[in-house]
Amino acid sequence: MDFYLGLAQIFGVHTLLGLSAYVVLLTGQVSMAQAGFYAIGAYTAGAMTAMFGLHILPAIVIAGLVSAAIACIVGFPALRVKGLMLVVATLAFGEMVRLFFFNLTWQVERNGDRVGPNGAEGFRSIRYFPENGWEVWHVTVFIWFVVVVVMGALWWMDRTRAGAVLRAVGHDETAAQSIGLNLTAVKVGAMTAGGFIAGLGGGIYAHTVTHIEHGVFGVLLATFAIAYPILGGLGSVFGTLIAVLFIQGFLIEGLRFMGEWRSLLFGALIVLAMNLRPHGLLGEHAPRLKNLFGAGPARPSDPLSTKEAK
């Protein structure tokens, strides 16, 4: 049972990571920096509980805020460029963060032990959960509580003006600018929100594994972060969740019986999925619940459908 609860924890933190990239992708920007923000969150939250003895909740909120602040600062120079240049800039930033933690040694004395990040060895014994008697299912429930809150907030945001603004910038920057939207503010705002969510996810991740080291937060994690929302489709937050279940649940855990061939199949299936469903598994316009169950009144002509005509 603990195995499945642990699996649910992995799904949870990866969903947070994917959602952080989702917010930025809504504005049409491909950010490879999410693994960097995730790392900042992980190290910050780890330092808060293990080194300064804070409670887990303020620790992850502080981690989120620190990541958000750094995302905001990075956003200004990085978002002056777009497309390929932004991919490279954010990729470089992510690597820079990873190398910073690779070189960071900062330990303090606590209960007779030295705790803190120790260079290439990583940050050991972030043992908040076991020290405070949390059981595995407590942790799982806690993680999914955070995930549901974040998903709910994003789902609600999608239905407000803010969501429309983000999508407007993502669809056509020139058109968005001509109706008076401030592109820089929107993009940096999305980046900041993404940084906050990644920081939360990283903070929780650090506590579930108790030992973090720089190698985890490499380019591979960054590509996973953008892979979830793109693979799931940018129509709604549920696309990201489904993609996390598909990648982590099916491709990584479900194909374990294939042994060594699993990792080969993994990349090939992503290529196949993008060729068959280029707009993601759920597509660009997520199916609404009422359309699925036929509960809502069927509209005779959907005014939105005209925009698909090319």
Chain residues that interact with other proteins, rule: CB under 8 A: 25, 30, 77-78, 80-85, 87-89, 91-93, 95-96, 99-100, 102-103, 120, 219, 223, 226-227, 230-231, 260, 263-264, 266-271, 273-275, 278-279
Rounded to 5 degrees, what are φ and ψ at 283? Answer: 85, 175
Both tokens assigned to 131: 């020290």
CB of 279 to other proteins, least distance (A): 7
CB of 305 to other proteins, least distance (A): 18
- 111-116: long-range contacts at Cβ-Cβ below 8 A with a sequence spacing of 24 or more? 115/50, 115/51, 116/47, 116/50, 116/51
Please say whether the beta carbons of 19 and 230 come within 8 A.
no
CB of 239 to other proteins, least distance (A): 13
User: Nearer Cβ to other proteins, position 185 or 272?
Assistant: 272
User: Nearer Cβ to other proteins, position 151 or 251?
Assistant: 251
User: Nearer Cβ to other proteins, position 101 or 128?
Assistant: 101
User: Nearer Cβ to other proteins, position 95 or 213?
Assistant: 95
CB of 70 to other proteins, least distance (A): 13
The Cα 276–Cα 291 span in angstroms is: 23
Bridge partners of residue 113, in order along the sequence = 110
- Kindly compute the dihedral angle of the four CA atoms of residues 202, 279, 274, 186, in this order, to the nearest 10 degrees: -40
User: Nearer Cβ to other proteins, position 99 or 149?
Assistant: 99
User: Nearer Cβ to other proteins, position 61 or 269?
Assistant: 269
CB of 92 to other proteins, least distance (A): 4
User: Nearer Cβ to other proteins, position 110 or 171?
Assistant: 171
CB of 89 to other proteins, least distance (A): 5
Both tokens assigned to 205: 């991740």
CB of 60 to other proteins, least distance (A): 27
The three-state (H, E, C) secondary structure of 148-203, written as one string: HHHHHHHHHHHCCHHHHHHHHHHHCHHHHHHCCCCHHHHHHHHHHHHHHHHHHHHH
CB of 307 to other proteins, least distance (A): 13
User: Nearer Cβ to other proteins, position 263 or 291?
Assistant: 263
Residue type, 8: A
The Cα 209–Cα 212 span in angstroms is: 7
Please say whether the beta carbons of 94 and 33 come within 8 A.
yes
Angle in degrees, CA 184, 187, 192, rounded to 5: 115
